[in-house]
Structure 1
Amino acid sequence: MSLSADEYKQQGNAAFVAKDYDKAIDLFSKAIDVSEQPNHVLYSNRSACYTSLKKFVNALKDAEECVKINPSWSKGYNRVGAAHFGMGDLDEAEAGYKKALELDASNKAAQEGLEQVHRTQESRRGMPDMGLTQMFNDPNLIENLKKNPKTAEMMKDPQLVAKLIQYRSNPQAISQDLFTDPRLMTIMATLMGVDLNIGDLNSSNSMPSQQADATAPAATPAAEKEPKKEETPVKKEEPVVQADEPEQMDVDSNEDENAKKRAEAAKAEGNKLYKARQFDEAVAKYNEAWEAHNDITYLNNRSAAEFEKGDYETSIKTLEEAVEKGREMRADYKVIAKSFARMGNCYTKLNDLKKAIDFYKKSLTEHRTPEILSKLRAAEKQVKIQEAEDYINPEKAEEARLEGKDYFTKGDWPNAVKAYTEMIKRAPEDARGYSNRAAVLSKLMSFPEAIDDCNKAIEKDPNFVRAYIRKATAQIAVREFSSALETLDAARSKDAEVNKSANTREIDQLYIKASQQRFQPNDSNESPEQTYERAMKDPEVAAIMQDPVMQSILQQAQQNPAALQEHMKNPEIFKKIQTLIASGIIRTGR
């Protein structure tokens, strides 16, 4: 049965401490594979292992993935700096450590790493170049070595090729590497035109079998003119890793077991008291547990009891201590995430939602959970609601309405829309803002948006007849004739109820317009079959034709036209018959 990501991580930490870096890499890789969410800490830990093995390319790849997952985590940039330093890229290493210090000025590993970079930069500036920079920056360097019979075979080693590329930024580093990799001596001799007559060029352990042949070509003229200087091998500094080890396990194996037992016993008593809602007594027990053994879980528990008491300020202070101590103790990121989440809960209770959002985000950075993500979204939504409520101002709304009216009169539709939008924000319950904006949107031919605004106006004030009329006008414009007639029926009813039918003439004119255009044929010479097909696309006509009662009436009318006149005495039947006549399905005399 496979282990969890946390279990693999703890085993990887132990292997790192034991300096079994290959095993640690394997364990951190397994932790990465089984993690539900990308975990920046695991990539950071594996990067440290690669750096310790001087596999700087792999170390950089993991470091970059770490800061991609969590760009606000200072330690990730330590890993970036260390990997670049190991590759000899001092400018990039300097940038990495500076970014770490920008995020956390107290980052000791970054401070030491930056000092190390600066010392190396000074050392480089004081060393003679001897033409190495020009030699290793030759764009054809690798290709020329691959073509040369003396070096072609060894250039198949990608590690060696990568090392040669690194010398472009730090050519002096070869002075030390010549003593650990004799292949480099062959390459240097080849580049300088010297034949060392080395036996086995492919063996990394091979050494020159004899001195250069006396008949070998001399060095370049420039080299002959320069007096040979005695060089002292420069010790190459290694990137700082030890000061920035992977996160260790929370529990120190050498800690007094009796103290831990006392702490756990006190915590258990505290939990019982918490469940019994005896919060003061629970706080005392959690304090007792913390004093016996420093585990920030006890501080988190204490903060929960303080929260339930309603003492949110005290709870926040406890949680701040939990985070501070947790960082010092390299506590599990999930425990620290819980501390941040509870800070967010406290600030929510204090109605400081912006701070609550900040701490929910910090919690999610440490460990992402659906519960905290939901709380973050709810807090963000509430902030928007509060901002909208704070923005409400009836006086400003009236100013915006008059401004919109002025723009409308001038025919400046875009600015009229802006003014009425401002009115809506300042007075969201005033139906006039939505209705007025709908009138401007119709001028801009934005009929669907105008219909939406009319619906909002009617929702705010169901008796606002003007909103019904503007809605019907927009519906006619988009050829929603059946819906427009329904809207006009509602407008007529409301107008009679609240305005003593003051708008009857306007409503009737729109009704006639909708009715006439509703079934207007596209072709004056269309056949009866085409008329029927077009009419049946109208939802109301289709419903009438599918009504069993109407089907019976129409069948009777075919046999006895006089019977139709009798049925039309019923108002509902009359309306349906008139709709079928208007659609062309029932044809009257020519």
Structure 2
Amino acid sequence: MADEAKAKGNAAFSAGNYTEAIRHFTDAINIAPTNHVLYSNRSAAYASLNQFSEALTDAKKTIDLKPDWAKGYSRLGVAHHGLRQFDEAVSAYKKGLEVDPNNETLKSGLADAQSASGSGRSRGPPPAAGNLFGDAFGPDMWAKLTADPSTRLYMQQPDFVNMMKDLQRNPSNLNLYLQDQRIMQALSVLLNVKMQAHAPGDDVEMPDSPVRTESVAENSNTNANTKAREVEPEPEPEPMEEVSEEEREVKERKARAQKEKEAGNAAYKKKDFETAIGRYSKAIELDDGDISFLTNRAAVYLEMGKYDECIKDCDKAVERGRELRSDYKMVARALTRKGTALVKMAKTSKDYEPAIETFQKALTEHRNPETLKKLNDAERAKKELEQQEYYDPELAEKEREKGNECFKEQKYPEAIKHYTEALRRNPKDAKAYSNRAASYTKLGAMPEGLKDAEKCIEIDPKFSKGYTRKGAIQFFMKEFDKALETYQEGLKHDPQNPELLEGVRSCVQQINRATRGDLTADELKERQAKAMQDPEIQNILTDPVMAQVLKDLQENPKAAQDHMKNPSVMNKIQKLISAGIVQMR
């Protein structure tokens, strides 16, 4: 907020609205009371209104806050000069030159103050009349001309500089240079007024200066020369903090670097990668404090398939970003880009490990959904490649045979270990899944066995063992209706299989027991409790149509008979009977 108020003050000062400038600088000081530049700027604004006492107070405060800043002594000298305290002004300028011996503004101000002090002028209010142009060419003349865009370039022209030096020494020579448009523009800047150019020989009337003036004394001779009003030295505006030549060069380089980056972006969009590389490289040379140049160049290398160069740029960006405490998102971007390049280079499952690690590091910097997806893809690709690298059907068969030997010896955990290794070597071996399902069944691990049996059927739907394994597990879990469906499905592929036929017979027998009501109380209770955990049974019981059917079975036999003609309803009733939920009498 202080910077915002300061900027408003600078703008008002440049527009000549000094009272408004003072108000804005005061607001900024209230927010940042230790900022020496704000007091310096307000001192300049007060001096522009000829309020030199206030300008003096602010100048002293500026020096108190930053005694090693030459500009503060320049402000102090101007304020003393305005108050006609010439000896104090001389002292202020000399102290400033001790801080900055080469400061031209201080040198010029010292010369004017010494001249004024040696001329015998007394302290007190300014005289009623003076030389307007003499004060226009005062100690702050060079600074004003350099600061103003309309005259800045003139300072590089030797003839203009020589004319201004002559006018500074002898303002009465002004009439010699009035025909030069540059001199007229310089006067406009120095007096802060808008000047009109006139042809040689024309009489020129100078407008009033923005600073306080006394009455004009008019000469009575035929030339009607106007006596200009005496003006005190106008303090130079300070729109920004003083910037050294080195700092100015750094800013210019940064601006040029940004332009190179924009040009690189445009080339990248056109897929002119070589041009983009050149532009980004130039931006990096100009400014090594912006890691986006490196990450952008890395993106181009990635598109070009130059993965090593991409990785090098990403590593540099991360390292430099840590040094500069760059935005964590920028560091994460560099890491993600590096991870992408590593994935592109991966040939074995091991090659994915550094990529996965890099993506994980990126996510600790910034949890970006795109990076997370890249991590998941890399992990999945690594796993798939591992399986491919490990695939060996011959070794898988040997491991399965070892598992069979252990199974025969009733060493079921060891058998499972060998079957698992066999499946790692050959994930499409239906027999290994079937055998492992049998081992799980022997250990009472029914869910694991059921899962393997289903995987066996998925791999080879015509393999009868898969159905017998699954049906046996379901039967053991007393899910007789499901077991019956499994056995019947297997018979479609192998109609004469004795194990499947025996499975069907056993399931029908158990279902008929429930239908006849032959179950003991404990068996019925156990079957009902198990059935109530079955989602399919739950869906049947919550179906409004089935609720009406069950009601009709008890209260309306004729309607019940009609329901039984529907195969779907009959199938659901049979499931409820098998589960012990419905008992037929």
Normalising by structure 1, report the TM-score: 0.48
Larger radius of gyration: 2
Normalising by structure 2, report the TM-score: 0.48
